[in-house]
Amino acid sequence: MVCMTTDSGTNMMKALKRNQWTHLSCFGHRLHNAIENACKDARIERAVGVCKKVISAFSFSWKKRRDMAVVQAELGLPEHQLISESPTRWGSRQQMIERILEQEKAIGQILGADKKTRHLVPTWQDIDVLESVNKAIKPLHDFTDALSGETYVSISFIKPTLHLFNNSLLKSDDDDTELTKQIKTDVLKYLNQKYSDQTTQDLIDLASLLDPRFRTTYIEPDKIAKLRERTIAELCSTMHYRGIPVTHAADKDKFESQVVEPPTKMKKSLSSFFKKTPVEAETKTYEAKVKGELSAYLLAPETDADSDPLTWWKQHETHFPRLSKLAKKYLSIPTTSAPSERLKV
């Protein structure tokens, strides 16, 4: 087993540690935890608490829901219902906040007309906080939807995703409020720290290299040479058969058929000390082939971002017979456990 992708369940972590298996935490869970951690602010907690009370007021009153539809029509607002937050559903808090902001005028008009619920109308300070939070985490919610909606996402996506977060989605803008900047900074800090250990870095770097959509695009320039060496070394170490490097199953039969009884020991001639053994010559030949394959692969044109990397490797297996085996080994590792959690046992 190369690696196992799981959530942070105690039982899972204990089993992985006991068996000394390489572990990768689900990216979706880590992103959710990063957002939760960044939103631990008294101002946010108060504003979110107000949202929940507003939703409760409408949930337990059919009259207010009826009035909501009337006011929405008068104000020209979308005829949407309010959304409740669910702790187990990714992005539900952002959806709740966005819907409250969308229906702010209707909510204020309906709750303000009733003296029993007038105190639930969000203040302008609450609205400012909610707008700041929504601006910071809305792009992440859209990304999480895309991530969890895919049937299969390889770990080769992690490196490009972190680059996207650091340079685009979570990059502070001049018009951001201090709260928005703080949330973005905290989310980035959490994610970068979680993926900073060397074992994880080596894993996602190699997966990114073997993805024909990315290759070396998102790998630090000073790491590329070492990563190439590691790729070649792993291929050479895993493709040996009984001490003889082979590339295909047919080669194994060939070498097996050539196994004969060792010859009678004879006195060596002087020239024999300068001859290369068949294994040494074959090893150098195999390593040269691996290097040539890797160089040709890195020079090949990049594929479309929507393409399936495993399908690409299947189609180009004849051109890269050795490299394709390593690619399938690492690209088969999922970046999120969401698809497996959808299965009903």
pLDDT digits (tens, 9 = 90+) for 274-294: 455 554 455 568 888 899 999
Give the rounded percent of residues in the chain with a pLDDT score beyond 70: 82
Of the listed ranges 2-6, 232-236, 320-324, the least confidently predicted one is 2-6
Stretch 206-219: mean pLDDT: 93
Structure confidence at residue 320 (pLDDT): 93
Quote the Cα angle for 178-179-181, to 5°: 65
Q: How confident is the model over 66-86, as a mean pLDDT?
A: 94
Q: What is the pLDDT of residues 85-96, one digit of tens each?
A: 987 777 889 999
Task: Pick 12 or 38 by higher pLDDT.
Answer: 38
Is 196's pLDDT higher than 70? yes
pLDDT tier, 330 (very low <50, low <70, confident <90, very high otherwise): very high
How many alpha carbons lie under 13 Å from residue 336 in its C-beta half-sphere?
A: 25
Between 15 and 80, the more confident residue is: 80
Q: What is the pLDDT of residue 141?
A: 80
Tell which wins on pLDDT, 171 or 11. Answer: 171
Contacts of 61 (CB under 8 A, 6+ apart): none
CA–CA distances in Å: residue 230 to residues 279, 334, 340: 22, 22, 31
Query: Other C-beta atoms within 10 Å of 273: how many?
Result: 7
pLDDT of residue 111 exceeding 60, the answer is: yes
Is the pLDDT at 244 greater than 90, yes or no? no
Predicted local confidence at residue 193, as pLDDT:
94
Residue 328 has what pLDDT?
Answer: 92
Average pLDDT, rounded, for the chain: 84
pLDDT score, position 286: 83
> Which range among 102-116, 128-142, 261-275 shows the weakest confidence by mean pLDDT?
261-275
State mean pLDDT over 321-325.
Answer: 92
Q: Which residue has the tokens 């959710």?
A: 32
Quick one: average pLDDT of 296-320?
90
Residue 222 in this model has a pLDDT that exceeds 90: yes
Grade residue 337 by pLDDT with cuts at 50, 70 and 90: confident
| Between 68 and 237, residue with greater pLDDT | 68
Average pLDDT value for residue range 51-79: 95
Between residues 174 and 240, which one has the greater pLDDT? 174
Percent of the chain residues topping a pLDDT of 90: 57
What would the mean pLDDT of 267-277 be, rounded to a whole number?
A: 53
Query: Residue range 204-227: average pLDDT?
Result: 93
Least confident interval from 2-6, 16-20, 61-65, 341-345: 341-345
pLDDT value at residue 243: 45
3-state helix/strand/coil string of the chain? CCCEEECCCHHHHHHHHHHCCCEEECHHHHHHHHHHHHCCCHHHHHHHHHHHHHHHHHHCCHHHHHHHHHHHHHHCCCCCCCCCCCCCCCCHHHHHHHHHHHCHHHHHHHHHCCCCCHHHCCCHHHHHHHHHHHHHHHHHHHHHHHHHHCCCCEHHHHHHHHHHHHHHHCCCCCCCCHHHHHHHHHHHHHHHHHCCCHHHHHHHHHHHHCCCCCCCCCCCHHHHHHHHHHHHHHHHHHCEECCEECCCHHHHHHHHHCCCCCCCCCCCCHHHHHCCCHHHHHHHHHHHHHHHHHHHHHHCCCCCCCCCHHHHHHHCCCCCHHHHHHHHHHHCCECCCHHHHHCCC
